Structures are given as C-alpha cells and as structure tokens.
Amino acid sequence: MEKNEALEILKGSKPSCAIRETITGFIGEDKGNAVWNRAAELVVEFTNKYPSFPKSEYFHVKGIFNASALYLSLKELSGDNALEIMEKGMAVYAGEAAKSYQKMVKMPFGRTIFLKGFAMGAKKMFGETAGFKQEFHCANSKKLRFDVLECPYVKYTTELGCPEIAHIFCDNDVYAYGYLKGITFDRTQTLGTGGNKCDFYLYKSKLQGDRL
C-alpha cells in the first residue's frame, strides 16, 4: 500500500472524517492536516505489518487501523489531549450513525425488525470469521442477549500500542443503541474497559399502547 491509497481509505471512512473535523476544531486546520498525513503513513505501516485478513475481519481491522493511526499521530503531534479528542470525534460519528436506528424503531413493527435484524447481523459481523468469539443466550422479537468473549478491537489496539482507545469502540454501542425509543440497552462490562466480556442485552421497553 502507498500513502496516497491510505489517504483515500481515510477519506472514505465516515468515522475518520468525523474525527478529523473534531481534531481540526481543537488544534486548527494546519496541525489537523499534519495529523491526517501522518496517520496515512501509519496506516501504511499497519497494513504492511498485517498484510492479510479474511474479508469479514478486515471490515473491523480497517476501522481499527484508521482510528489507531489518527490517535497515535495526534498524540505525537499534539500532546496529552489526544484521547479526549478521539472520544469526542467518535461520539459525533456514532451519534449520526444512530439516526438510522432511531428512524427504524419508530416504524410500525420497527422494534421487532430492529431486534431480529440486529441478531442476524451480530452473528455474522461479530462472529468467529470476523475475529470475534461470542455466545448467544436468546434472540427473538422481544429481546436479544449475547456476549462477546474475544474482540479484535482490543487485540489490535493493544498490539499497535494504543490499548487506551479500545473503549471508544465500546462507547459506540451506547451511542448507537442506548437512546432508542422503546428499546432498552443494558450493559455491565466490556473487554475494552477491562471486563471479561462485552455483554449485550437489548429488549423492548413498554410504550403507550404496547402489549408486551
């Protein structure tokens, strides 16, 4: 991979672009551009270090590489507030991404569609072929409960030297699913914050007129 290709990967990543805007807001455009260019160099380094992945795992790995590169370059060029900036930037992205879920659950039978669709997606997106280990407990039209026991976000942020950013990916779940009308998301721990699993429990919460 060449640097220009890495720049295109960053440019095509919605989370990376949201983080870039936040970085620019904190440190200015010139320093922000320097961070962006340095991040592209790190993406090249990471890709050369890990040259091959199954397609389903690379979906996650690409995001990990981008975020890790932005964080490490920001820390290198800007200093101690790099983690705070990353947290804020990822929160902006996750908040925007959550809007599609918010629209879905407001539709007729939207909560049922959401829970069933989430279960189907989670088994594939967070399954073993994608670098995870998981255990499902229940999945139906009213509730979904499963645990993630191994996670590539923790693995690769640790190997790349920035385990302290793993929790921002955990936080994305809260921003995405934690404020949906009629859906409750309960969580007690995550791997990225030192827990022994990431527990997902989503269930219908009663709305006026419901017959749960």
Interval 67-84: pLDDT, tens: 999 999 999 988 779 999
Determine whether domain 3-204 maps to CATH 3.30.1380: yes
Mean pLDDT of 78-91: 90
Beta bridge partners of 185: 202
Ranges of each domain in the chain: 3-204
Element (H, E) at 35: helix 29-49
* Sign for the pseudo-dihedral over CA of 127, 132, 137, 139: negative
Find out whether 198 and 148 touch, Cβ atoms under 8 Å: yes
* Residue 108: DSSP 8-state: T
Order of strands, edge to edge, in the sheet holding 143-150?
A: 133-139, 143-150, 198-204, 183-186
pLDDT of residue 39: 96
**CA–CA separation, 37 vs 8, rounded Å?**
11
pLDDT 10s digits, 29-61:
999 999 999 999 999 999 999 988 777 888 899
- Residue reference for tokens 């929790």: 167
Burial profile 38-53: b = 16 or more Cβ within 10 angstroms, e = fewer: bbbebbbebbeeeeeb
Tokens at 32, concatenated: 């922000």
Residues 27 and 194: their CA atoms lie apart, in Å, by 31
Three-class HEC string of 129-184: HHCCEEEEEEECCCEEEEEEEECHHHHHHHHCCCHHHHHHHHHHHHHHHCCCCCEE
Which among 150, 195, 149, 189 has a CA at the least distance from the CA of 173? 189
pLDDT > 70 in the chain, percent:
97
Q: What is the pLDDT of residue 56?
A: 81
